[in-house]
Structure 1
Amino acid sequence: MTLDQLRIFVAVAEHGHMTKAAERLGISQSAASAAIRALESQHGVRLFNRVGRNIELAQTGHRFLPEAKAVLDRATAARGVLEDVSQTVAGSLSIAASQTIASYWLPRRLASFHEAYPAVKLSVTIGNTRQVETNVLDGRADFGLVEGRTESDILRRATVDEDHPMLVVARSHPEIPMTRAGNLDIRALRWIIREGGSGTREALEDFAHNQGVPPAELQIFLVLPSNEAVRQAVEAGAGATIISELVVARSLAEGSLRAVPVELPKRDFAMITHRDRQASLAQMALKAHLTGRADALANIDN
């Protein structure tokens, strides 16, 4: 068996779908199918059961999956050792980033990193904070970039920037009533929010708690899976939201949205890495680049 066959097997197992796995790996569906057939034929086993148009792991596949992942992890570690010995900043880096960071903060920084280290191949996957944390813990990503809190104590966090959440409504939205205590009556608003597990959702829930309002008492009108969908719904007059200034800066400048004057705490953009995985020179270089710390290249554990 080859490392490529193992990578394809793991991708198909994780996606439960041949075409989606092939798209993730940047190969054709026929190449992925051929690799799985070859692996099964070479060892006289069945790794997947074909159920209609979908596939699922067979019993042998379930037993083989953790071993395949372990081999790929060791291969990655071995490559890192060779890179460190040669002092060459090269190889590939996988980054998982939450939506706000991936769409508005990260692209220019990765472009400048590529100019400095053209031998490093970068790939980015996008999810909410909880999904990013899972990808780093499972080893599917070398780095995570999040704006929300993380839960695992085996992750390191390093602040790379700060974000400014804002409460925004459409330009035509009526004035928001006040409570007797002189605070915004957030119970009177219809809210448009992100899904659970996102840092943007977390910012709203923290704000509600600080106002003494349980999030369950908010009028949740829409739950949407992306910042852009939330922004467009608010622009259309569907309700209010709390969202990153990066997402709504243009809409505020153009006048389709207006900010509600309320004090919201800043939040960190943070890089997360696994405590137990050795970092390659490429990983240390990217950390140094994103944190703006020259000493991070000397020791990623600092």
Structure 2
Amino acid sequence: MTQSTAARAGRFHQGRLSEERPQALDAWRITTDDAHVAARVADFLGGQPQPNEGGGGLVHEVLTSRESVRVLMNGPDAVAARMLLWSRKGVVHECNGSEFLSPEEKKGQSCGCPSRIEDRKLAARDGRGPMPSIDFAFRIAAAPVLGEFHFMTSSWQLAAQLSDLMEELERFDGPAVCDLTMELVVLTTKAGRSVCYRKPVVTVLGSPNSVAPEPPPTAAPMPAPAPSAPRRRARRTSEPTAPSIPESTCSVSVDTGLLRRAAQVLGTTDHQETVIAALSEVVAGRQQNTELARLREHVGRIASIAGQALRDRDSSLT
């Protein structure tokens, strides 16, 4: 899978850094080095261009109001996928799930990864195996002239669906219209704790001549009727209330020193990218004194990956 060499207009992100805390977002965040691109993105997707203080290395960011963006993906080459295992020295394992992609002397040889994705996840969680590294290249369907954007993810859910996605993209002679969505997942753990996260989903819709660049706007809510003359108060009956959904934008307080060391191991450039590379889900809640324990309980990836690489230097990470 070879992506286009076109200059990148910007990047899509599911989170950002807020007051030194990784923060999951409800809507797409877009970063770019081009002020004009930032302004046009805000015009089409909502939000305001602002200096990028949320990580990612680019100058401008736009916190859009869209959890789903319609994009154009140009065939299977729009997707670059590999499996990576990092150490302090960099990448120590790069494969496609069945064969090595590097180094050159091992390229094409069996990589030894398990065939079942559940076994691959366990190996990655224990620091013994690689994690997905998927790079999507696309243009915003409503404004393709802005250039090519990228979204990078280590989502196991997307990794499991890649073969089907590639087959769908292969069917089109030219770009396919897709929805790139941050889908909300809400669940309850065995301990009864509410957990939420946003998983990335790519849905292929059709060709540009059969699908609108953007879905029609949601109908505005009907205005409330004007108050009428007072009447005799009716006896109020109790009605069942729907369970509330946990707030999906959540900040997680973690040890920034640990994150910096994990970034060295993972080869990432900021805290937000480190968390995305190391976690497949974001733990909700604001009990900050237990957040690190909850991260280890539900995912355990930052601690296990950093611990494997650094246990000879700092036993406190394990």
Superposition TM-score tier, normalisation by shorter sequence: under 0.3
TM-score normalised to structure 2 length: 0.21
TM-score normalised to structure 1 length: 0.22
